[in-house]
A and B are shown apart, each in its own frame.
Chain A
Amino acid sequence: MLDGRDGKARQKAMELLVRYAEALGAERFVDTRNVAGVPGSANPFLQNYYRDKGTDERDAIFSYFDLDADELLDVPQALVPTYHLQGGADPTAWQTLGVKVEVFRSYQEREAFAAAHDVGILKTCTPYLTGNVPAKGEHLAWMESSAVIYANSVLGARTNTEGRESTSAAMLTGKIPDWGLHRTEHRYGTHRIEVEIPVDSVMDWGMLGYFVGDVVQERIPVLRGTSRRPDIVRLKHFGAAASSSGGVEMYHIVGVTPEAETIELAFGPRQPVETFAYGGAERRRVYDLLNANASDPAVDFVMLGCPHAALEQLQEAARLLDGKKVSSSCQLWIFTSRTVKGLAREAGITKTLSDAGAVLLTDTCSAFAQTVPPGTKVAALDSAKQAHYLPAILGVQAWFGSTADCINAALTGRWSPEGI
């Protein structure tokens, strides 16, 4: 591909991957047939920057930004199965998100560009909940830190945290540098986490993840002592939190995750560098840290669905909201994927939610779209990841608590959590 025999765009994609591999110190590539990225997408800045720089046949954003090329290219179809992660705005409720019509039209054009190049339009940060469930040992080129940590740790697939440019290059080449988590010797644990208290609720798994990411940063923690087996939603929240407070891309939970049947298998030939205990004091510290940006109990916005809600989370929200009304002083937005929204609609959940005044949205989230309802000063969130990002991005206060705490805040307009 480097010699240009497969066309200029694949050549440029391969050149970018070679520069990237050299930067990493990787000596070869692995083949991948599973790419998840955001090919050709554009926020308003990029839309404006590349306006009038392309032609009908040659896409400026994909050429210059995705492939970091210095020339306009004819972009061929994806060479291997490729999926689009979150981005843009809900096609049925973009006005709710405060998106201007010209920006939304551009989102639609970018989505059409991806679809026309054989990219599956999942539009979610949770591809593993919507049909792209990699097999153990499969090599992937995935973006989205919460999806990467899930694929590596829960599914036993192999991917580094790829970026916009490397996933778009992989889409055209089916190659990605053979480095880091693609290699068995780099998948063993480095740090031991002794969990000394019961960790049960989704909120608790989120807090544990936030603690773990903070203490191990980008290394590989091995957790021991978790009493109850976590389900998909708990693992989703744990991983999203650990990849936000730190850069964790892989973890092991002894007896739970596929490469950690025993603690010996989890560490392989390595000795733990350090051991951290997670007890009551640590839990308290994480809770306080996640609530450090909030002081005003008058909540005017509640956001759920980070990462995008699974069907059972929408069922839970519907149970808590059934027959009730969101306070007139508050708005409740719940984000999910188009796929799960379809399932929710068939189950009658979307009607329960809308009857209660909740707004179910797809494709994005408040942090990603950088949008909250106009006038929002104080938000309530049930995701440690969202609580990490939203105050930094939008300068709002953010409370962190359980899903029930958040829905209670939406119904009353007041933050009065059960606490911990």
Chain B
Amino acid sequence: MTLRPTQGHPEQSRGVSTVSATIVLRGRKVVGGRAEGEALVTRQTIPGWGGVNPVQGVITETQHELRGQSFKDKVLVFRGAKGSSGWSAMYHTARLAGTAPKALVFNEMTTKVALGAVVMRVPSVTDLDRDPLAIIETGDWVIVDGDRGLVEVVKAGK
């Protein structure tokens, strides 16, 4: 896989300490709107009911690599949804509690993640031309344009 960095953005505009380059991924709109934030990335599927505390915005599943981490105000970059049919209601509750992610970028479409994205009302994109899990790392700054199906990634400096 070739990463083709496009034009870099001035770091001041986003308050990111070090910025190398912007990468643009193209995909399909799931939910429209535009949002940006720091990426929280997992290659694992994400649980809903029974594996997340929506009021605190924290993943609680015992065997999950993100256990104990908060998705509040993050751009959640993940493989897909798993587990109970309570997925949408959990993330819907997170929206009410003010702990929802700012945007979703994911690989595998399911009814759980589709309905969850709809009721969370956050910009969401899938079917990207390159694997977002291979490109986006936790801490990168990510801009999601749901209507155009675009994901801009500003790599966090190492």
Per-residue B-contact encoding for A141-170, CB less than 8 Å = 1, 0 else: 011110010000000000011111110000
A165 touches B119 (CB 8 A): yes
CB B62 to nearest CB in A, in angstroms, measures 5
CB A91 to nearest CB in B, in angstroms, measures 22
Q: Is the CB of B81 closer than 8 A to any CB of chain A?
A: yes
Known interface pairs A68-B119, A243-B83, A247-B83; A367-B50 also in contact (CB < 8 Å): yes
A20 touches B118 (CB 8 A): yes
A161 touches B85 (CB 8 A): yes
| Chain B residues whose CB sits within 8 angstroms of the CB of A76 once the complex forms | none
Q: Is the CB of B155 closer than 8 A to any CB of chain A?
A: no
Q: Is the CB of A293 closer than 8 A to any CB of chain B?
A: yes
B92 touches A247 (CB 8 A): no
CB B59 to nearest CB in A, in angstroms, measures 9
A393 touches B86 (CB 8 A): no
Q: Is the CB of A179 closer than 8 A to any CB of chain B?
A: yes
Q: Give Cα distance in the complex from A307 to B74, angstroms.
A: 34
Q: Give Cα distance in the complex from A68 to B89, angstroms.
A: 11
A246 touches B55 (CB 8 A): no
CB B55 to nearest CB in A, in angstroms, measures 6
CB A76 to nearest CB in B, in angstroms, measures 21
CB A178 to nearest CB in B, in angstroms, measures 12
| Chain B residues whose CB sits within 8 angstroms of the CB of A388 once the complex forms | 50
| Chain A residues whose CB sits within 8 angstroms of the CB of B31 once the complex forms | 19, 23
Q: Is the CB of A63 closer than 8 A to any CB of chain B?
A: no
Known interface pairs A46-B93, A163-B116, A393-B60; A247-B110 also in contact (CB < 8 Å): yes
Per-residue B-contact encoding for A236-276, CB less than 8 Å = 1, 0 else: 00000001101100000000000000000000000000000
Q: Give Cα distance in the complex from A383 to B44, angstroms.
A: 23
Known interface pairs A164-B92, A391-B62; A247-B116 also in contact (CB < 8 Å): no
B50 touches A247 (CB 8 A): no
CB A303 to nearest CB in B, in angstroms, measures 15
- Closest A residue to B89 by beta carbon equals A164
A163 touches B61 (CB 8 A): no
Q: Give Cα distance in the complex from A180 to B96, angstroms.
A: 29
Q: Is the CB of A16 closer than 8 A to any CB of chain B?
A: yes
Q: Is the CB of A65 closer than 8 A to any CB of chain B?
A: yes
Per-residue A-contact encoding for B77-108, CB less than 8 Å = 1, 0 else: 00011111111110011001100000000001
CB A35 to nearest CB in B, in angstroms, measures 13
User: Which residues of B from 98 to 130 have beta carbons under 8 Å from A?
Assistant: 108-112, 114-119, 124
Q: Give Cα distance in the complex from A160 to B81, angstroms.
A: 13
By size class, the interface of chain B is 35 or more
Q: Give Cα distance in the complex from A161 to B110, angstroms.
A: 9
- Closest A residue to B47 by beta carbon equals A392
| Chain A residues whose CB sits within 8 angstroms of the CB of B45 once the complex forms | 217-218, 246-247
A246 touches B118 (CB 8 A): no
CB A59 to nearest CB in B, in angstroms, measures 16
Q: Please report whether the interface of chain B is mostly helix, strand, loop or mixed according to DSSP.
A: mixed
Q: Is the CB of B30 closer than 8 A to any CB of chain A?
A: yes
Q: Give Cα distance in the complex from A16 to B88, angstroms.
A: 13
Q: Is the CB of B28 closer than 8 A to any CB of chain A?
A: yes
| Chain B residues whose CB sits within 8 angstroms of the CB of A148 once the complex forms | 85
Q: Is the CB of A25 closer than 8 A to any CB of chain B?
A: yes
| Chain A residues whose CB sits within 8 angstroms of the CB of B28 once the complex forms | 25
A247's contact among B86, B112, B115, B118, by CB below 8 Å, is which? B112
| Chain B residues whose CB sits within 8 angstroms of the CB of A179 once the complex forms | 111
Q: Give Cα distance in the complex from A388 to B119, angstroms.
A: 26
Per-residue B-contact encoding for A278-322, CB less than 8 Å = 1, 0 else: 000000000001000100000000000000000000000000000
Q: Is the CB of A389 closer than 8 A to any CB of chain B?
A: yes
Q: Is the CB of A232 closer than 8 A to any CB of chain B?
A: no
Known interface pairs A20-B115, A23-B31; A392-B89 also in contact (CB < 8 Å): no
| Chain B residues whose CB sits within 8 angstroms of the CB of A389 once the complex forms | 50-51
- Closest A residue to B30 by beta carbon equals A23
B82 touches A247 (CB 8 A): yes
| Chain A residues whose CB sits within 8 angstroms of the CB of B110 once the complex forms | 160-161, 180, 218, 247
| Chain A residues whose CB sits within 8 angstroms of the CB of B55 once the complex forms | 45
- Closest A residue to B114 by beta carbon equals A23
| Chain A residues whose CB sits within 8 angstroms of the CB of B109 once the complex forms | 24-25
Per-residue B-contact encoding for A47-85, CB less than 8 Å = 1, 0 else: 001000000000000000100100000000000000000
Give 18 pairs: A residue, B residue, CB < 8 Å, sorted on A: A20-B115, A23-B31, A23-B114, A23-B118, A24-B111, A45-B55, A68-B118, A148-B85, A160-B110, A161-B110, A161-B112, A162-B111, A163-B111, A164-B85, A165-B115, A243-B84, A244-B83, A293-B62
Chain A residues with CB under 8 Å of chain B are 16, 19-20, 22-25, 45-46, 49, 65, 68, 142-145, 148, 160-166, 177, 179-180, 217-218, 243-244, 246-247, 289, 293, 367, 388-389, 391-393
Q: Which 8 A-B pairs have the closest CB atoms?
A: A163-B88, A247-B82, A23-B114, A143-B85, A164-B89, A160-B111, A389-B50, A163-B115
Known A25-B28, A166-B88, A388-B50; 18 more pairs at CB < 8 Å: A23-B114, A23-B124, A45-B97, A65-B89, A68-B118, A145-B85, A148-B85, A162-B115, A163-B112, A164-B86, A164-B88, A165-B88, A165-B115, A165-B119, A243-B83, A247-B112, A391-B62, A393-B50
